[in-house]
Structure 1
Amino acid sequence: MNHVQKAFIFFGLLLLTFCTSAQTHRFENEIQAFETQDKQSPPPVQPILFVGSSSIRLWPDLQQYFPDKVVLNRGFGGSELSDVRYFADRAIVPYKPKQIVLYAGENDIASSKLTAQQTYDKFVDLFQYIRQKLPGVPFVYIAIKHSPSRRQFWPVVNETNQRISQYLAKQTDAKFVDIRPSMLGPNNQPLGTLFKSDSLHMTDAGYQRWAPVLKPYLK
């Protein structure tokens, strides 16, 4: 084997390694962590499955908020609707949930700069896939909140929420839960005390506002 052939093989292997690495999804490690956790401690049977971005992932002691329900948190931080769709067969379907509660879409708008229509389209794609895989499972969508640090995106957030709300109103066993009013202060603006210092992620006080609004919709 001459030097040219060796160099060709070397660069071929290098390219293969790069392509394999590039195909690894950015949340693969988090999903693998869930799978490892499930092997070590089997998840509850037919839970109410909470899934989505960091507003779900960072919900402290979810069970404490809904003590009379069997709940499971499978949120993974920073995720967008397309990420939840990508991992649906591993992060949603295997749990055979009694009900699905989703919070996602905020990062689509703020991080990926998607329009309301684009975010809505990704939601519909995810919803239809879930309905295909888990027909008849009740579905709850938590409205995209008004994060103070993302104020410039509020018009898109409002339009996206409206589109998703109108869509779900036409679906069976599907609810749109608007938590935004519960987060407002006397000046009709989101209360700063409900958010951490980044004005994005919520404090425990924020979840205390969410829980009573959400509870009537849980099966």
Structure 2
Amino acid sequence: MNRITFSWCIGLFLVNLTSFGQLTGGASKQPFEDEIRAFEKTDQTTPPPHNPIVFTGSSSIRLWDNLADYFPKKTILQRGFGGSQLNEVLLYADRIIIPYQPKQVVLYAGENDIATGKLTGQQTFERFVALFVHVRQKLPNVLFTFISIKPSPSRRKFFAENDIANQLIKDYLAKRKNTQFVDIRPVMLTKAGQPVPELFKPDSLHMLPEGYKRWAKVLGPYLK
């Protein structure tokens, strides 16, 4: 069994284990469970749109204020949560992606995986594959869009591993149908190849509106 297949199997095991815990009333609470339940509660009071574009992933999606306003002609559903990693997006995929039967999934995740200092770009890529395969099995025709891992100034020491993950994911998606790799790095870098500081909050990690404006300009043509 190769490493990618092994990672995929582990990912599916985690999803099944979570579902079992929910059915049996397991006492342990998974990370970000409260946020996921809040989404589900919102869906009960305000039915989600039909066949939306689901944006999901980590805090770069969660903190994108007025996301739908950036794409006024599109039907957007924002489902970013916490400071999530790829394995956590997989963990909750059957609750925050699959039920909406989206026409497109837009994912930003992977940055936090590498920033733990415990995962390489290769291992982060393998986590991505596990998530992608799971979504593709449940939604075989969905357009799957990955936003490249951004160059956050506070995480410079991880840039090399970020680049590895980005390249592996780009190459992988290039061989699959109905996929897109959206590289937002060029609009976030100076001519010298350094992150534009004015795009970031004081933590040099999360973005200001100007950063999201640049993302939207690049991402817009890829949306279905």
TM-score by structure 2 length? 0.87
Tell me the distance in 1 between the aligned counterparts of 2:191 and 2:155.
20
Match of 2:134 in 1: 129
Tell me the distance in 1 between the aligned counterparts of 2:116 and 2:58.
12
**Structure 1 position 117, deviation (Å):** 1.2
Unpaired segments ≥5 residues, structure 1: 1-19
Tell me the distance in 1 between the aligned counterparts of 2:73 and 2:219.
14
Given candidates 25, 32, 35, the residue that maps to 2:30 is 25
**Structure 1 position 203, deviation (Å):** 0.5
* 3-state SS in 2 of match to 1:101: strand
**Structure 1 position 112, deviation (Å):** 5.2
Q: Hey, which bits of structure 1, 4+ residues long, moved more than 6 A?
A: none
Q: Are residue 195 (structure 1) and residue 191 (structure 2) matched?
A: no
**1:148-197 per-position Cα deviation (integer Å, ceiling 9, x unaligned):** 00000000000100000000000001010000001112432111110000
Residue 198 of structure 1 aligns with an amino acid whose one-letter code is D
Higher relative contact order (CA 8 A, sep 6+): 2
**Structure 1 position 206, deviation (Å):** 0.3
Tell me the distance in 2 between the aligned counterparts of 1:198 and 1:40.
35
**Structure 1 position 66, deviation (Å):** 0.1
Which is higher, the Rg of structure 1 or of structure 2? 1
RMSD: 0.9
Residue 181 of structure 1 aligns with an amino acid whose one-letter code is P
Tell me the distance in 2 between the aligned counterparts of 1:209 and 1:77.
23
* 3-state SS in 1 of match to 2:119: coil
Cα separation, partners in 2 of 1:132 and 1:112, compared to 1, 3 Å? farther
Match of 2:7 in 1: none
Q: Are residue 182 (structure 1) and residue 187 (structure 2) matched?
A: yes
Match of 2:157 in 1: 152
Equivalent pairs: percent with the same residue? 59
Q: Are residue 84 (structure 1) and residue 89 (structure 2) matched?
A: yes
TM-score by structure 1 length? 0.89
* 3-state SS in 1 of match to 2:55: strand
Unpaired segments ≥5 residues, structure 2: 1-25
Q: Are residue 104 (structure 1) and residue 109 (structure 2) matched?
A: yes
